[in-house]
């Protein structure tokens, strides 16, 4: 078992360590690496323009760290794609990528199809709703992959976790992380509980890892990644970077319930697949929530299946694109 205190010291970084972008780019070029940024979207017209402008101006034009900036969209009905394209991003509708395999609604679907569509040796995922966007949201999580070849998967976290001006501040994730995911990881995968924000939407991963793991199409994708990568490569494959602060919109408690339900279905599937638990009953796909209307109470049933896409290496079209035997 990994010495977690040691891992926290060696594999936890702060973005300030990587502010010398010229040096980072020289190292990237020395290794002949290509880096792609994927921004998954669904009706993000209020924030997508600022993100694309900032990443293109700072991390392509001024500092050529990124080789491509792509928006992969779930079917926006607002001006998300128009705005992103006007500021220089490559824009794709998820439904138009691998159309022969059909389309499914969910963020995980966009992340999975990015592996096929984008060309980078490293793919960086950044959510589209960040209000305090800054180049560190990319270079802070790419840098450990450039400087340390043994690292394969880097997660972002936010807020300072260490002693600051003599004060100790608790560190952790959002509500679903601290109420659901961290307790589950602590019970079944205690080493993974050292990932400070396991549900963070900002992470950078080597293609060789992404193409070998399945992708739940919905909210379970980040949790499944951690478990699958952990089983394949161990704790030493992970790193995490403190990005200080992230400002974004907060979801309603009911929506967090749907997120938690999806994560639970994915988590229990992993427990079964890894033979950690035996005789797991078939799990319902029905999440039951309730609302009151005057003196009447109404049950609302949401069907949440959390389907999964297979590892991209199992897709014939991907293998043909890379000239691999099918």
Whole-number pLDDT of residue 149: 94
In contact, 74 and 94? CB cutoff 8 Å: yes
Whole-number pLDDT of residue 248: 62
Whole-number pLDDT of residue 203: 98
- Mean pLDDT, residues 296-323 taken together: 92
Q: Say how far apart CA 283 and CA 271 lie, in whole Å.
A: 13
> Which residues neighbour 272 within 8 Å (Cβ) at sequence distance 6 or greater?
280
Of 95-104, 164-173, 206-215, 269-278, which range is least confident? Answer: 164-173
Q: For residue range 178-230, list pLDDT tens digits in order.
A: 999 999 999 999 999 999 999 999 999 999 999 999 999 989 999 999 999 99
User: In a 3-state reduction of DSSP, which class is residue 13?
Assistant: strand
Whole-number pLDDT of residue 48: 97
Whole-number pLDDT of residue 170: 56
Domains of the chain: 4-321 (3.90.550.10)
pLDDT above 70 coverage of the chain, percent: 94
Whole-number pLDDT of residue 292: 85
> Which residues neighbour 279 within 8 Å (Cβ) at sequence distance 6 or greater?
none
- Mean pLDDT, residues 23-42 taken together: 98
> Which residues neighbour 64 within 8 Å (Cβ) at sequence distance 6 or greater?
25
Q: Which residues pair with 69 in a beta bridge?
A: 37
Of 2-16, 92-106, 285-299, which range is least confident? Answer: 285-299
The pTM score is 0.92
- Mean pLDDT, residues 172-176 taken together: 77
Whole-number pLDDT of residue 168: 53
Q: At what angle do helices 221-233 and 253-273 cross, to 10 degrees?
A: 30
Reference 78, options 111, 42, 53; nearest CA is: 42
**Residue 33's pLDDT band (cuts 50, 70, 90):** very high
Whole-number pLDDT of residue 171: 59
Rg (CA), the chain: 20
The whole-chain average pLDDT of the chain stands at 92
């Amino acid at each position: 078992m990994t010495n977690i205190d040691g891992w926290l010291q060696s594999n936890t970084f702060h973005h300030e360590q990587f502010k010398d972008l010229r040096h980072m780019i020289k190292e990237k070029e020395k290794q002949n690496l290509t880096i792609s940024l994927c921004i998954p979207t669904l009706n993000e017209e209020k924030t997508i323009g600022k993100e694309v402008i900032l990443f293109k101006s700072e991390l392509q034009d001024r500092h050529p760290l990124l080789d491509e900036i792509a928006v992969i969209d779930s079917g926006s009905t607002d001006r998300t794609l128009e705005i992103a394209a006007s500021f220089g991003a490559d824009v794709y509708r998820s439904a138009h990528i691998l159309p022969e395999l059909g389309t499914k609604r969910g963020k995980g679907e966009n992340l999975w199809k990015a592996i096929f569509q984008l060309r980078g040796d490293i793919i960086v995922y950044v959510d589209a709703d960040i209000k305090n966007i800054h180049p560190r949201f990319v270079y802070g999580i790419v840098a450990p992959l450039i400087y340390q070849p043994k690292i394969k998967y880097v997660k972002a976290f936010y807020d300072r976790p260490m002693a600051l001006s003599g004060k100790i501040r608790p560190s952790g994730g959002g509500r679903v992380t601290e109420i659901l995911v961290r307790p589950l990881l602590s019970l079944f995968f205690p080493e993974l509980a050292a990932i400070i924000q396991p549900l963070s939407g900002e992470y950078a991963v080597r293609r060789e890892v992404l193409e070998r793991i399945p992708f739940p199409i919905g909210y379970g994708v980040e949790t499944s990644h951690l478990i699958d990568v952990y089983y394949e490569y161990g704790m030493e494959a992970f790193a995490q970077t403190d990005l200080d602060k992230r400002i974004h919109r907060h979801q309603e408690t009911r929506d967090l319930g749907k997120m938690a339900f999806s994560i639970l279905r994915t988590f229990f599937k992993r427990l079964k697949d890894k033979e950690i638990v035996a005789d797991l009953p078939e799990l319902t796909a029905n999440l039951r929530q309730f609302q009151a209307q005057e003196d009447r109470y109404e049950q609302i049933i949401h069907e949440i299946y959390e389907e999964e896409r297979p590892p991209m290496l199992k897709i014939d079209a991907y293998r043909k694109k890379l000239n691999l035997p099918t």
